Amino acid sequence: MNISLVGRHIELSDANKEHILNSIDSLEKFHLDLISVNAVTSMNERKKGVNIEFTINIAGKNTIVITQRSDDLYAAVDIAIDRAQKALRRLHERETDHRHVGINEAKAAAAAPIDLHAVGEGMEDEIVPTELLLYKPQEVGEVIELLKESTKVFEVFMDNDGKMRVMYKRNDGKFGLY
């Protein structure tokens, strides 16, 4: 990684340079291919402060530019590095969490033969037959009593006319019927 430190209208002392270099070294923990980091420090005479601008070039990605102004150079560097770390963390998480399948892998998966017999056997294991109580016709009053006694929210039943019906508890304490 190439590191460039520039001071415009300001003389960077050895302590300032060391602080900026140590801060830039902390950006390597995201394991991104950093090509270069340029740090430009300038004195703003009208606003009585220090500006610092980090330009971070990453291989295969867009360039990240962070600009920060503060009265103190150390504070400006720390805030700018925090913002740069946040941007690099987002980029790193996007790269590691969202693995996209390439077109060649997708074509290979689509061309792979599918054993329908094995798929059918796998589905048979998941189906569990249960005996339904729908075959006996029930009165609406019986179903209301069943719902009052149980914790169920609804009951599916066959009425005396042979229609499949649904009785459900409403929020206002009454019962609804489909």
pLDDT digits (tens, 9 = 90+) for 7-28: 999 999 999 999 999 999 999 9
Task: Please tell me which residue, 155 or 118, carries the higher pLDDT value.
Answer: 155
Q: CATH number, domain at 169? A: 3.30.505
Q: What is the C-alpha to C-alpha distance for residues 140 and 167, in angstroms, rounded to an integer? A: 8
Q: Is residue 80 part of a domain?
A: yes
Number of folded domains in the chain?
2
CA-closest candidate to residue 8, choices 81, 65, 73 = 73
Q: Is residue 39 part of a domain?
A: yes
Q: What is the pLDDT of residues 86-104, one digit of tens each?
A: 999 998 888 776 566 677 7
Compute the Cα dihedral for 26, 30, 32, 33 and give only its sign.
Answer: positive
Predicted TM-score (pTM) of the model is: 0.54
> Domain residues for 155?
140-177
For residues 56 and 24, the answer to whether their CB atoms sit within 8 Å is no
CA-closest candidate to residue 73, choices 22, 25, 26, 13 = 13
Q: What is the pLDDT of residues 127-167, one digit of tens each?
A: 666 665 556 788 888 889 988 888 888 888 888 888 888 99
Q: Is residue 14 part of a domain?
A: yes
CA-closest candidate to residue 91, choices 125, 66, 58 = 58
